[in-house]
Amino acid sequence: MKRTGKDIFELYAENPDRADRVVFGRETYPDRRGFLKGAGLATMAALLGGAIPFHRNMPGGLIPVALAEEGLRIENKDGLVVLNDRPVNAECPPHLLDDAVTPTARHFVRNNGIPPANMDPSSWNLQVDGEVNSPMTLRIDELKRRFEVVKLQLTIECGGNGRAFFDPKAKGNQWTLGAVASSQWTGVRLSDVLKAADVKSSAIYTAHYGADAHLSGNPDKNPISRGVPIAKAMNAYNLIAFEQNGAPMHSMNGAPLRLVVPGWPGSCSQKWLTRIRVRDQVHDGAKMTGTSYRVPGYPVAPGAKVPKEDFQIIEAMPVKSLITYPESGVTLPGSLMLDVRGHAWAGDHSVKAVDLSIDFGATWTKANLRKPANPYAWQHFSARLRFPTKGYYEIWARATDDTGKQQPFSIAWNPKGYLNNSMHRIAVNVA
């Protein structure tokens, strides 16, 4: 797996003890033999691909040979680019997202804290409480038994996908284009569970909680706890999911239980889900207040300072498209024809059209656009393009949703680097 920024070897060369804390959450002691435990042990085990029977004997500052030989990787993830290792965040290059349904191995990873040490589905409990008349605590097997189990292809996109292209730069993970995926999820409808809990008329918002630990190690802090308005929570396409692509979900994608709230920022889809609290106010949990997952309520100039009170919570994601074939930079030897493929999605809406241009937007060719597998699944487009002569070209993709909203050419800048839905462009050289 490729990685950007300072690598694990540089960290250990500079300060082994600090590297243990930064990378693995290790508790170190004066003799540098403090053993891994809890979330730190789980993180290292996830990176190495299995349990470490003699972890108590591992000296501080040791780079496990598996990492020394292969570099930082996430077990059972294929081709992802790591943007951050504490917490672990990794995206998938566009040309590896060509599948109609995103394989688990290529689903991006967005963590806010340290994954839980125990992910045993047999002992997992989900608490549903707050503004409900019938609070519940449910095991996963009870969810399967009490509620209809459904399978849906659902698109999840990080609110900061595309942040790397902002100018001036915005702080946060510098996602390029690959913090999006559309896997098939198996679970029960969030709305069915909330109805069974008998939501009170005073309910306004949900609050979601997971088992991941705060990076500080403080058990009283949540790394993230977001929610959605009750109207959105009652959408029939939100799932409390326990399978991904017909199998147990990946540990870094929220096993054994997570929310999937498609069409809204991925931060609403709480991983390692343990509690859904119904509230009589807008939720004020971790990363719900201030400027987190918020944008100004009006257009702003790049670099502008915006008062905090002018920020609004992000709800539905904007219309967007991604060219997945060919890979940008391809050279066509002796051919003027090229097949192009990709996906498009549009938050709470569907995509009405995708158009492609090879002349910098002077003219456009309508792509063939397929219907989604179900609402909130991305839609596949394809086209055969003909180039007039040899030379350098750019293929631009522009999606339009069913309300007429269209992808812009340039980024609508905001201070936190959210919601970049500018047209996707790839380079093609015709030899």
Question: In whole angstroms, what is the distance from residue 161 CA to residue 144 CA?
Answer: 33
| CB distance 276 to 127 below 8 Å | yes
Count of CB atoms situated within 10 Å of the CB of 322: 23
Question: In whole angstroms, what is the distance from residue 382 CA to residue 380 CA?
Answer: 7
> Which pLDDT score is estimated for 137?
98
Secondary structure (H, E, C), 346-366: ECCECEEEEEEECCCCCCCEE
**Range list for CATH 2.60.40.650 in the chain:** 320-430
User: What is the share, in percent, of the chain residues with pLDDT greater than 70?
Assistant: 85
Count of CB atoms situated within 10 Å of the CB of 317: 26
CATH code linked to domain 320-430: 2.60.40.650
| Residues of the chain under the 70 pLDDT cut | 1-41, 43-44, 47-51, 58-72
> Which pLDDT score is estimated for 52?
74
> Which pLDDT score is estimated for 153?
99
Work out the angle at residue 158's Cα, subtended by the Cα atoms of residues 178 and 106, and round it to the nearest 5 degrees. Answer: 40
CATH top-level class for 121-313? alpha beta
- Tokens, residue 217: 């190690």
> Which pLDDT score is estimated for 65?
57
| CB distance 247 to 256 below 8 Å | no
**Range list for CATH 3.90.420.10 in the chain:** 121-313
**Residue 282 Rama label (left phi>0; alpha psi -120 to 50; beta):** beta
- Tokens, residue 392: 């350098």
DSSP string of 296-346, one letter each residue: ESS---TT----GGGEEE--SPPPEEEEEES-TTEEESS--EEEEEEEEEB
> Which pLDDT score is estimated for 120?
97
Count of CB atoms situated within 10 Å of the CB of 130: 20
Question: In whole angstroms, what is the distance from residue 225 CA to residue 218 CA?
Answer: 15
